[in-house]
Structure 1
Amino acid sequence: MKEIIFDIGGVLLNWNPDVFLKKYFAGNEERLKKIVFLSDEWKMLDLGNANVNEVRALILKHHPNDIKAINFIFDHFEEEMLQPIDDTVKAIKALKKAGYKLYILSNIHQDLFHERTHDYHEIFSLFSGAVLSGEEHCLKPDPAIYHILFKRYNLTPSNCLFIDDSPANIETARKLGMEGIVRKEQKNLIAALKTMGIHL
């Protein structure tokens, strides 16, 4: 196994809307999660069909009674959630030192991605490439976006290990011939990698 592919949200960077919303909107978190993060508008963002400001405007238009909460969410979700996960960062550095090639495959808008790569250049500079849903207009677990990754970087699925927080995304990876780790099921990523035959 030569190539290790990482998701971003929930794997490389924190992504937990439940915790964020409960912290500031206890008792109303489920409704706001549906309004923002589970909305069709947010899917447009992940697909690259609208940017963050456009999605914010659309959600505000559709939910005029929640303007204050929606604006707060958009003003603070990046700083509150999109922060590096220490355990994953340790694993990435160990993998790079051991000679593995690292890639990213993520459902994320390219603007959010490039902001994070700027803020955390030391981490993202360790990767050899990235495929983003916002640039490809295609979301995991659609096999098409995996094939884009394989073709762009000349990867052989059987040589790849994919780490994602979604069981559905890992299921697709395995169907395509990759190995997979569901990140949220593993508290110690380095230990999980070693069980997969990764030498660190």
Structure 2
Amino acid sequence: MINTIIFDLAAVLIDWDPKYLYRKIFKTEEEVMYFLQNICTPDWNEEQDAGRTIAEAEEYLIAKFPEHEENIQAFYGRYPEMLGQEISGTVTILRKLKESQKYKLYALTNWSAETFPVALEKFSFLTWFDGIVVSGTEKNRKPFASFYQTLLNRYQIKPTTAIFIDDNPLNVRGAEQVGISSIHFTSPEQLRQALQEKSILV
């Protein structure tokens, strides 16, 4: 019997996108995409999610691309400008689950420990969770099995009683490999249907 729902945050409940910032910095979409695909890349950002400090990250990248020092520093220096609004359809689902009082609700997120307080201040629904495990704090991240296990151990969750929701197929597979049934999130409407099919939402 399912008694625990575990949510990813970015792209599921929170609209986070570096393009929101860099469209203000560069003149063309091509410049934006080049910068985010070749300089401040997802792989570089993932290291901060895994616990590398922002100071270390900036020092490393500026040494490689000194001509982009200001643009690199903007990634974290202007971090709030990357945060859009809550994804309201998913927040509505979260609210209904909370109000039902049938489920424990947790968040398992790949997020820098240094920038997560920005999200906590902006999004009040984060207080609805019974616990949040942040990769940057743990110095571990999805899709590694040990990161999911941190959540399971800390809150005494049995994998067979939980469902995990994430937009990244790699993270979904990671959860399934430790025995947690998962939903690959594509939209609030798709999530609602999936939860209805599992009799979690009426």
Q: The TM-score by the shorter chain falls in which range?
A: 0.7 to 0.9
Q: SS where residue 103 of structure 1 aligns? A: strand
Check conservation: 2:90, 2:188, Cα contact below 8 A. no
Paired with 2:111 and 2:67, the residues of 1 have a C-alpha distance of 28
- Any residues of structure 2 matched to 1:105-124 within 5 Å, and which? 105-120=108-123, 122-124=124-126
Question: Aligned match of 1:79 in 78, 81, 87?
Answer: 81
Amino acid at match of 2:138: E
Check conservation: 2:163, 2:180, Cα contact below 8 A. yes
Measured at CA, do residues 145 and 75 of structure 1 come closer, stay the same or move farther in structure 2, by a change above 3 Å? same
Amino acid at match of 1:110: A
Aligned position for 2:58 = 56
Aligned position for 1:104 = 107
- Any residues of structure 2 matched to 1:44-193 within 5 Å, and which? 44-50=47-53, 52-81=54-83, 83-99=85-101, 100-120=103-123, 122-183=124-185, 185-188=186-189, 189-193=191-195
Gaps of 5+ in 1: none
Structure 1 runs of 4+ aligned residues shifted over 2 Å read 15-25, 37-40, 52-62, 67-83, 189-192
Check conservation: 2:164, 2:183, Cα contact below 8 A. yes
Q: TM-score, normalised by structure 1?
A: 0.86
Paired with 2:7 and 2:55, the residues of 1 have a C-alpha distance of 27
1:127 deviates by 0.3
Gaps of 5+ in 2: none
Question: Structure 1 vs Structure 2: percent identity of aligned residues?
Answer: 29
Paired with 1:159 and 1:23, the residues of 2 have a C-alpha distance of 45
Q: TM-score, normalised by structure 2?
A: 0.85
Q: SS where residue 27 of structure 1 aligns? A: helix
Cα deviation digits, residues 122-175 of structure 1 (max 9, x gap) = 301110011111122112111001111111000011111111110011012122
